[in-house]
């Protein structure tokens, strides 16, 4: 279990992290979101002791992180870094040795991990001969091959196509199933929503969202309706409590409500003549909430 308690970090007059606290239990995935400069990478560096907190502490299973504990951490920085003239195999063995693993322990696992992430190339190939996507996969393998108990991934999906992003998701979920704590940052709200057990959003170093993804969404109310019926855009737009109506590509309507209870009135109007193909009332998407909180200067 990872605990961050009242973390504060300033750089001159700038407060990068402001009294941040959270807990990640074993076998749990936490997403950390926020605009560029919100404090995500600084938080990761505080956890890893790359930076010293002005106040607060980080605990792993109730104790401060030491050398032994750092060997059980996998960290993928936002700025990728591999040695271009070194082979995949030698690279992975080297990085694993920094985590206290021997060549004998790691070498037999390399083929399995390359197959798992579908790396195109031989393990004897030099990094510079690989595509950027395959280089990123090798760096991900270097982060995970020693089977860390705590995994910190800073923008891991950056630059990955949908197929490779799905491979990474599977890898993260597999770590969770083995009891690892995983924390990652991402600007892709779809990835966050699909795999996170818990979510924190930072803005200017302060926590502005904290909780389970579905609970956070529900807290904003079910103000989004997807409707397929005989009602026209004009008719719906004239209803009291309807803020916006968008006609989607399939001719259904995407409707934003000022308050959730308007949905009942809309449903009754849409179904007054009987069956309709679709009425789906949902809370705002995580991406919509992100934009709302990022632009909201009044709490």
pLDDT tens-place string over residues 195-220? 999 999 999 999 999 999 999 999 99
CA distance 118 to 222: 40
Structure token digits, residue 115:
């197959």
Three-point CA angle 38, 43, 44, nearest 5°: 120
pLDDT band for 296, please (50, 70, 90 cuts). low
Q: Cβ-count burial of 98 within 10 angstroms (0-12 exposed, 13-18 middle, 19+ buried)?
A: exposed
62: CB partners within 8 A, 6+ apart:
1, 3
Looking at residue 57, what is its pLDDT?
94
Beta bridge partners of 253: 227, 247
DSSP-H helix ranges across the chain = 40-47, 67-70, 88-97, 103-106, 110-116, 132-144, 162-177, 189-195, 213-219, 233-237, 262-270, 286-295
Render pLDDT for 25-80 as a digit per residue (tens, 0 to 9): 999 999 999 998 899 999 999 999 899 999 999 999 888 887 777 888 999 888 77
Q: How big is the chain, counted in residues? A: 299
Lowest mean pLDDT among 21-25, 111-115, 187-191: 187-191
Mean pLDDT of 247-266: 96
Mean pLDDT of the chain, nearest integer: 91
The predicted structure's pLDDT at residue 261: 96
pLDDT category at 299 given cuts 50, 70, 90 is: very low
pLDDT digits (tens, 9 = 90+) for 122-176: 999 999 998 888 888 898 899 988 888 999 999 888 878 888 888 888 888 888 9
Render pLDDT for 14-37 as a digit per residue (tens, 0 to 9).
999 999 999 999 999 999 999 988
Burial class (CB in 10 A: 0-12, 13-18, 19+), 264: exposed
Q: If you count DSSP H runs as helices and E runs as strands, how many of each does the chain have, helices first?
A: 12, 14
DSSP 221: -
What local confidence, expressed as pLDDT, does residue 196 receive? Answer: 92
Domains of the chain: 2-217 (3.40.50.300), 221-282 (3.30.70)
Q: How far apart are CA 137 and CA 159, in angstroms?
A: 11
Tell me the Ramachandran region of residue 208: left when phi exceeds 0, alpha when psi lies from -120 to 50, beta otherwise. alpha
Q: Which pLDDT score is estimated for 100?
A: 86
Q: Within its chain, how far is the Cα of 137 from the centroid? A: 18
The model's confidence at residue 283, banded by pLDDT at 50, 70 and 90, is very high
């Amino acid at each position: 279990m990872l605990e961050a308690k009242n973390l504060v970090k300033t750089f001159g007059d700038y407060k990068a992290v402001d009294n941040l606290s959270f807990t990640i239990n074993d076998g749990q995935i936490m997403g950390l979101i926020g605009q560029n400069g919100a404090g995500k990478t600084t938080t990761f560096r505080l956890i890893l002791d790359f930076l010293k907190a002005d106040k607060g502490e980080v605990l792993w299973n109730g104790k401060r992180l030491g050398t032994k504990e750092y060997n059980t951490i996998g960290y993928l920085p936002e700025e990728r870094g591999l040695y271009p003239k070194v082979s995949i195999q030698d690279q992975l063995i080297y990085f694993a040795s920094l985590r206290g693993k021997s060549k004998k322990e790691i070498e037999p696992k390399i083929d399995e991990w390359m197959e798992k992430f579908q790396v195109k190339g031989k393990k004897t190939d030099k990094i510079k001969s690989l595509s950027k996507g395959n280089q990123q996969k090798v760096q991900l393998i270097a982060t995970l091959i020693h089977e860390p108990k705590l995994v910190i991934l800073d923008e891991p999906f950056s630059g990955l196509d949908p197929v490779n992003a799905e491979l990474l998701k599977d890898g993260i979920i597999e770590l969770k199933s083995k009891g690892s704590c995983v924390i990652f940052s991402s600007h892709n709200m779809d990835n966050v929503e699909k795999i996170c057990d818990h979510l924190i959003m930072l803005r200017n170093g302060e926590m502005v969202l904290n909780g389970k993804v579905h609970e956070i969404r529900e807290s904003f109310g079910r103000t989004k309706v997807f409707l397929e019926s005989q009602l026209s855009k004009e008719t719906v737009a004239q209803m009291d409590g309807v803020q916006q109506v968008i006609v989607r590509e399939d001719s259904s309507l995407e409707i934003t409500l000022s308050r959730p209870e308007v949905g009942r009135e809309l449903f009754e109007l849409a179904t007054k003549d009987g069956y309709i193909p679709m009425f789906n009332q949902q809370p705002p998407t995580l991406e919509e909430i992100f934009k709302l909180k990022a632009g909201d200067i009044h709490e």
